[in-house]
Structure 1
Amino acid sequence: MTGLICLNKPAGISSFGAVAKVRGITREKKCGHTGTLDPMASGVLPVLLGGATRFLDYLPDSDKAYRAGFQLGTVTDTLDSTGRVLQTRPFSDVSFQALQQAVHAFQGEIEQVPPMYSACHVDGRRLYELARAGKEVERPPRRVVIHKIELLSYDAQNGTGALDVLCSKGTYVRTLIDDIGRRLGCGAMMTALTRTAAMGFSLENCVSLESLQQLRDTGQGFAQVLIPVDRALSAYPAVQVSAAQSRRFSNGGALDRTRVRADRTDGLCRVYSDSGDFLGLGQWTQEALAVKRILVKRD
């Protein structure tokens, strides 16, 4: 089996655990994912299977969209509702207008300090390992971009609400919510998180673990939910080559760049046969279109 399954990861399971379940259901030994989601988060998790896993390192960085729930007045060590409560503060004076103003202040390019409970590395160790050992270390801020942030709802009596966020790779939504709470002076924590879009895929493209299991149990197979891996590589320009060039490329041979028709002749590109089949990724050099990754199809 070769391709991509866009999984709607359920909350309460790690991304690694979700991929393990996909591996078990599909019986495909080679599985890998991109864009890790925390256990409490649900939503879009692209899973590559079989020969498609060869392209994991070449998936382009992409913006991601989230829907997040929040609670004002509560601060935790993990910045979300799974953590230990550190402080509770009054929030009754926070109006919808004040909250909306605070939310919109974070649109654009901002600096974020990664949370201690995260997979970021400091001095060779993951931050969450240090946090679990009771240690807190200085973390350099990172620049991220909040392309769009929208306050969807707010219950002023309970201090709860929801946000839609479109952001660059590497953005921590729980840090964003914590920063909004700091700006308001009452603190805030994230209570729920759903990734609604990533890598050009949305929840509408996703399949649940239960649906995958049903496809297996009913003998229908997975063809209807298997997405060609080149859809995830669409950020790279496409090049179509002749039948003879296709055979050479598929066997690992470089192509004379003067004999390849292309609008762009730099960087990486998707290579297709004359019949439109995806062959793999090519790398332009001064002399040739060299093979970067070949798609090896597995039944």
Structure 2
Amino acid sequence: MTSHTVVARVRRLAGTRKVGHAGTLDPMATGVLVAGLNRATRLLGHLQLADKSYDATIRLGATTSTDDAEGEVVSTAPVDGVTDAAIAAGVTPYRGEISQVPSAVSAIKVDGKRAYERVRAGEEVVLKSRTVTVSRYDVLDIRRGDGWIDVDVSVDCSSGTYIRALARDLGADLGVGGHLTALRRTRVGTFDLSVAHSLDALAEEFTWLPIADVAAGTFPRYDADAEQAAAIRTGRPLPGLKLSAGQTAMFDPTGIFLALYEPHGPLAKPTAVFVS
């Protein structure tokens, strides 16, 4: 299921056309996808969603055309000589700030066209490396089968990190090839599985996180008085109001979330207003 399909399902369940999502999931992946409804779609772009967590399974012993199980196997290699210690040592260079070449079958645009579209059209795609941060890369379990080794890992990383590329590169470094067979995103920013709902559960009872709760849980909070709230509703700057660096969630005296403001010299100015 693609992220676009999920959005379409949520539109039907919520009874609104205005649904957006933040952070596309690969079709083979499961886990957390943050969606916004109605005016909350505008909040998605302001949320701090750069850090993500994944649980994944890397299969060593085979390389595929897509770096995951959905592609064709293009080469295999015996894994008899790959020890647990070698696997543990193999992930070490991929912790911290690293240079990573994304999978060729990705949504990155090359001359205005998605890389995966070019690959499917038979073109050879070579993407440039990019700097990403992998703050945690833990080996959880190692299982051995007939001609393969499955490695369960848990990863915390910055936005733009490709877990498929981690699988590919580990296999290449060990000399046996590798690809991803399972991927589950367990966290996006402050949103994790504990606040997530399956589509089946939403079909039974459609629940959501109120925009005010998300704003208060993501940004510093400022409770405006009635006069300030009237100015905020129309997006007027607030003189003499000292806010912390970055964006602050502004609330009226009744607890309604009004806007995001940030400091500009002696003024506090809006970056987005959510009520009128």
Q: Please classify the TM superposition score into its range, dividing by the shorter chain length.
A: over 0.9
Amino acid at match of 2:23: G
In structure 1, distance between residues paired with 2:227 and 2:79:
69
Contact 1:147 1:166 in 2 (8 A): yes
Alpha-carbon distance between aligned partners in 1 of 2:243 and 2:121, rounded to the nearest angstrom = 54
Cα separation, 2, equivalents of 1:105 and 1:199: 24
| TM-score of the two chains, using structure 1 as the length reference | 0.86
**C-alpha distance in structure 1 between counterparts of 2:210 and 2:163, whole Å:** 28
Which consecutive residues of structure 1, in runs of 5 or more, have no partner in the other structure? 1-12, 216-220
Instruction: Spell out, residue by residue over 1:217-251, the C-alpha distance to the aligned partner (whole angstroms, 9 max, x if none).
Output: xxxx53xx334355267554333321111012112
Q: Tell me how far 1:129 sits from its aligned partner.
A: 1.3
Residue 156 of structure 1 corresponds to which residue in structure 2? Answer: 144
Q: CA deviation at 1:69?
A: 1.0
Distance 2:125 2:86 in 1: 33
Partner of residue 236, structure 2: 253
Identify the range of structure 1 (54-63 vs 116-125) with the bigger mean alpha-carbon deviation: 54-63
Cα separation, 1, equivalents of 2:61 and 2:19: 41
**Kindly tell me: are residues 62 and 234 of structure 1, through their superposed partners in 2, closer, same or farther at Cα, counting changes over 3 Å?**
farther
Cα distance in structure 1, aligned partners of 2:259 and 2:193: 27
Match of 2:248 in 1: 269
Question: Which residue of the other structure, out of 180, 183, 202, is the alignment partner of 2:192?
Answer: 202
The more displaced of 104-113 and 266-275 is: 266-275
Shift of 1:134: 1.2
Give 2:157's aligned residue.
167
For residue 258 of structure 2, the aligned residue among 261, 275, 279 is 279
In the alignment, the residues of structure 2 paired with residue 134 and residue 107 of structure 1 have an alpha-carbon distance, to the nearest angstrom, of: 34
Q: Give yes or no for the alignment of 1:289 onto 2:268.
A: yes
SS of equivalent residue, structure 1 residue 155: strand
Query: Which residue of structure 2 lines up, in the alignment, with residue 226 of structure 1?
Result: 209
* Aligned residue identity for 1:72: L
2:136 partner SS: strand
Is the CA contact (8 Å cut-off) linking 2:53 and 2:188 kept in structure 1?
yes
The alignment partner of 2:33 has SS state of strand
Q: Tell me the secondary structure at the aligned position of residue 86 of structure 1.
A: strand
The question of whether the paired residues in 2 share the 8 Å contact of 1:177 and 1:188 is answered with yes
Quick one: distance in 1 between partners of 2:212 and 2:8? 20
Q: In structure 2, list runs of 5 or more residues that go unmatched.
A: none
- The Cα of 1:168 is off from its aligned counterpart by 0.8
In structure 2, distance between residues paired with 1:47 and 1:89: 41
CA shift for structure 1 position 27: 0.5
**Equivalents in 2 of 1:140, 1:213: separation in Å?**
42
Deviation per CA, 1:118-145, whole angstroms, max 9, x where unpaired? 0111222211111111112332100111
TM-score between the two structures when normalised by the length of structure 2: 0.93
Q: In the alignment, is residue 146 of structure 1 matched against residue 129 of structure 2?
A: no
CA distance in 2, matches of 1:233, 1:113: 37
Partner SS state of residue 105, structure 1: helix
Residue 98 (structure 1) aligned with residue 77 (structure 2): no
* RMSD value, Cα: 1.9
- In structure 1, what residue type is equivalent to 2:138? E
Q: Does 2:53 correspond to 1:70?
A: no
Task: State how far apart, in whole Å, the 1-side matches of 2:3 and 2:253 are.
Answer: 38
**Is residue 85 of structure 1 aligned with residue 64 of structure 2?**
no
Matches within 5 A, 1:106-185: 106-157=94-145, 158-185=148-175
1-structure distance, mates of 2:248, 2:17: 28
- Aligned-partner residue type, residue 286 of structure 1: G
Q: Distance in 2 between matches of 1:117 and 1:184?
A: 22
Contact 1:243 1:273 in 2 (8 A): yes
C-alpha distance in structure 2 between counterparts of 1:143 and 1:41, whole Å: 23
- Cα offset for 1:268? 2.8
- Note closer, same or farther for the CA distance 1:77–1:116 as it changes in structure 2 (3 Å cut): same
Do the aligned residues in 1 keep the contact of 2:220 with 2:249 (CA within 8 Å)? Answer: yes
Q: Which residue of structure 2 lines up, in the alignment, with residue 5 of structure 1?
A: none
Against the structure 1 CA distance between its residues 17 and 229, is the aligned structure 2 distance closer, same or farther, given a 3 Å change threshold? Answer: farther
Q: Distance in 2 between matches of 1:17 and 1:105?
A: 36
Contact 1:95 1:156 in 2 (8 A): no
